[in-house]
Structure 1
Amino acid sequence: MSATDMTRRHFLKAGGLTLGACVAGGIMPAAAAAAGDKATVFFTRDLSAAGLCRIYERVASALSGKVAVKLHTGEPNGPNILPRDWVKALLPHVPQPTIVECNVLYPSPRQTTEGHRETLRVNGWDFCPVDIMDAEGDARLPVKGGKWIKELAVGKHLLDYDSMLVLTHFKGHVMGGFGGSLKNISIGCASGKTGKEQLHREGSQLWAGGPRFMERMVEGGKAIVDHFGPRMAYINVLRNLSVDCDCAGTGAAPATAPDLGILASTDLLAVDQASVDMVYALPEAQRRDLVERIESRSGLRQLEYMRELGMGRGSYEIVTI
């Protein structure tokens, strides 16, 4: 059986989702979703500010205190980043929210804090505070059980927050295969020079990809998950499903998969697994490009290694709202 068939089967069976419940908009009782050892993943087809706010309320109880809202604010004029008006509508529902980012390692205006600030202005992130967490240096977080990384250099300001809302544009990625909530917290919270180089370097090779890159990325995410503990919530927005990340900016390939909806959970593995499963459940012609990107980069290793490190549950129930 091919990897595509296996993951498609997971979506329809192991994940606990009936295709009719998702596609037809059936509602699964929350009590049933919480039963057993399956994680709850909420789903809405409503790709709008209102839909985002409604699904956020289902996971909001995990957050308290000062909340870091981790999202990808994008390269200059990037076409696929999350709509600013959606985020603007959401933030009043979030306790003490601040959008957080870190500088980047690849060539970009966002390599420096000054250039990053200008990109924020160009992209319209001027309605809320945005904290570039590594603007004043790094902090080190331990990676418990890591075999490649023992501690991750993160933006120093991450330590100023009590909780984290991970708000992710789910899409493909040139190295990761796909970019979900895991990538958002791992690469996204790693400091622009030291932390991101830790994740991308293997020996003397800087941009080393493949399964071991996936493992390093997962280990980086584990540092963030262990730091915040249960005070995390994850939202994946499945729209503009390009094979390229938002870091590709205006050069991102056009999306060839349809917009699907929004998924949310307090379980990191479950929300990324459900997102991948929704892609694999598409008709072959619609999923082909994104699946090729995921599999050619060993992207499914993200999910396997998260399971091995105990970073959530791969089995889940979908609650459609």
Structure 2
Amino acid sequence: MEKSKVYFTNMHTTMNENLPQKLSRLVKTAGIQGIDFDKKFVAIKIHFGEPGNLAYLRPNYAKTIADIVKDLGGKPFLTDCNTLYVGGRKNALDHLESAYVNGYSPFSTGCHILIGDGLKGTDEALVPVEGGEYVKEAKIGQAVMDADIIISLNHFKGHELTGFGGAIKNIGMGCGSRAGKMEMHSSGKPQVSQEQCVGCGMCTKICAHSAITITDRKASINHDKCVGCGRCIGVCPTGAIVPAWDESNDILNKKMAEYTWAVLHERPHFHISLVIDVSPFCDCHAENDIPIVPNVGMFASFDPIALDVACADAVNGQPVMAGSLLEKSLKNHKDHFTDVNPTTDWKVGIDHAVKMGLGSKDYELITI
């Protein structure tokens, strides 16, 4: 089997070429122009960053990709789906405001922003997962599934549950609706924090299975009736309804691979990862830490697995950043991600993605 091609360029610039221009040259050399964009809706999946976090990708990079898509006749939009946890991106209005605060807007990026799973994270498409071991029907943001083409623009960094966040996490976890995220993170069903519940009854109205009742102005969920759809999480105004957060990291990684399959199956897709500001944890944190390694560069490929493996190999080939959490936790595992987050094994998700037919671990690195 032929190795997948992964294209790479470092972060050095010249008087004749800045970083956005270099990114443009990278993706064109990698063959993005081979996709038929003419009059097609193109979802550029990106993480806008939780407010307070400063490691997320600058909007300048998104503009570069959006401009290329428009030049090729496509109709690009930036997208992400709402978060499962309480924060600055729990619903579409807060999510858009967070994106604006972090510099993303139609004026800075040259295209519009659509929150993939709607106002409350309940606008979803149910996508059958052929061959899914854990997921039979993925819950994907409707706007993502309405797109004709998927481009993932990834900030490659560490992650406390999945080892690292790259193309597969950006697509699989990022494109899941709130119910989809709950399915990946939880093996059980949601529960109610009685201290936070105000008894408003919004959850009872959204539940299609009469699983929620209000007693003494407090909600409770009958798990015998609950089907785990997660819609009650999306409508709760106080964040009182929460998932169990009890899935093992290995199964989480496998479910994420199956969700990635649901998003990409039978659609053109292209993937870009920037291995810069490699923070030890996800951009979902409202803070970031010292990068664990120096900046590496920019990578692009049609194969999300090859891209993730190439980026992981590149990070593991870097020296440890002085003063970082990696330096403090270094245990000579020969894997920087395991050293920072020892309960994770990112290779499990990669192997499962290969099993799902998403691509290959074998790659040819082409430096431009």
What TM-score results when the alignment is normalised by the length of structure 2? 0.73
Per the alignment, residue 161 of structure 1 pairs with 147
Determine the structure 1 residue equivalent to 2:302: 266
State how far apart, in whole Å, the 1-side matches of 2:343 and 2:273 are: 22
Relative distance call for 1:147 and 1:261 in structure 2 (3 A) is: same
Q: Is the 8 A contact 2:48 2:104 kept in 1?
A: yes
Structure 1 unaligned segments of length 5 or more: list them. 1-35
Residue in 1 aligned with 2:251? 212
Aligned residue type for 1:290: F
How high is the TM-score relative to the length of structure 1?
Answer: 0.83
Letter in 2 for 1:210: N
For 1:75, give the aligned amino acid.
E
**Which whole-Å CA distance do the structure 2 matches of 1:208 and 1:106 have between them?**
15
Question: Which residue number corresponds to residue 62 of structure 1?
Answer: 35
1:91-135 residue CA offsets vs partner (Å, 9 max, x unmatched)? 211121100111110111211111112112211111230010111
Q: Deviations over 1:63-86 (max 9, x none)?
A: 522211001011114201111122
**Equivalent residue for 1:184, pick from 158, 167, 170:** 170
Shift of 1:294: 5.4
Shift of 1:167: 0.4
Cα distance change on mapping 1:132 and 1:238 into 2, 3 Å: same
Aligned 8 A contact 2:338 2:345 in 1: no
| Change over 3 Å in CA distance of 1:244–1:304 after alignment to 2 | same
For residues 286-297 of structure 1, what are the structure 2 equivalents within 5 Å? 288=330, 289-293=336-340, 295-297=342-344
Give 2:158's aligned residue: 172
Measured after TM superposition, the shift of residue 308 of structure 1 is 1.9
Structure 1 residue ranges, 4+ long, deviating more than 3 angstroms after superposition: 283-291
User: Aligned to 1:189, what secondary structure does the other structure show?
Assistant: coil
How far did 1:312 drift? 0.4
Give distance in 2, aligned partners of 1:110 and 1:97.
21
Superposed displacement of residue 285, structure 1: 6.8
User: How do 1:68-79 residues align onto structure 2 when only pairs under 5 Å count?
Assistant: 68-79=43-54
Counterpart in the other structure of 1:25: none
State the distance in 1 between where 2:308 and 2:351 align: 11
Deviations 1:178-221 (A, max 9, x none): 00100000111001x21111111113542423211111111111
Aligned to 1:130: 113
Separation of aligned partners in 1, 2:51 and 2:62? 18
Q: Does 1:148 align with 2:100?
A: no
Secondary structure class of the residue paired with 1:146: coil
What's the secondary structure of 2:173's corresponding residue? helix
Partner in structure 2 of residue 30 of structure 1: none
- 1:235-246 matches, within 5 Å, as 235-246=272-283
Partner of 2:211: none
2:163 maps to 1:199: no
- Code of the aligned partner of 2:45: K
Do 1:77 and 1:122's aligned partners in 2 also have CA atoms closer than 8 Å? Answer: no
Inter-partner Cα distance in structure 2 for 1:160 and 1:308: 26
Task: Give the equivalent residue in structure 1 for 2:352.
Answer: 305
Q: Percent identity?
A: 30
Query: Conserved in 2, the CA contact under 8 Å of 1:154 and 1:195?
Result: yes
Q: Which residue of 1 aligns with 2:240?
A: none
For residue 233 of structure 1, report the CA deviation from its aligned partner: 0.4
Query: What secondary structure sits across from 1:248 in the alignment?
Result: coil
Query: What is the CA RMSD across the aligned residues, in angstroms?
Result: 1.9
* Distance in structure 1 (CA, Å) of the matches to 2:176 and 2:251: 17
Give the structure 2 partner of residue 21 of structure 1. none
Paired amino acid for 1:39: S
Q: Is the 8 A contact 1:142 1:152 kept in 2?
A: yes
CA–CA distance in structure 1, aligned partners of residues 320 and 291 of structure 2: 15
Q: Which has the higher helix share?
A: 1
The SS at the match of 1:302 is: helix
The structural deviation recorded for 1:241 is: 0.5
- Are the aligned partners of 1:201 and 1:208 in contact in 2 as well (CA < 8 Å)? yes
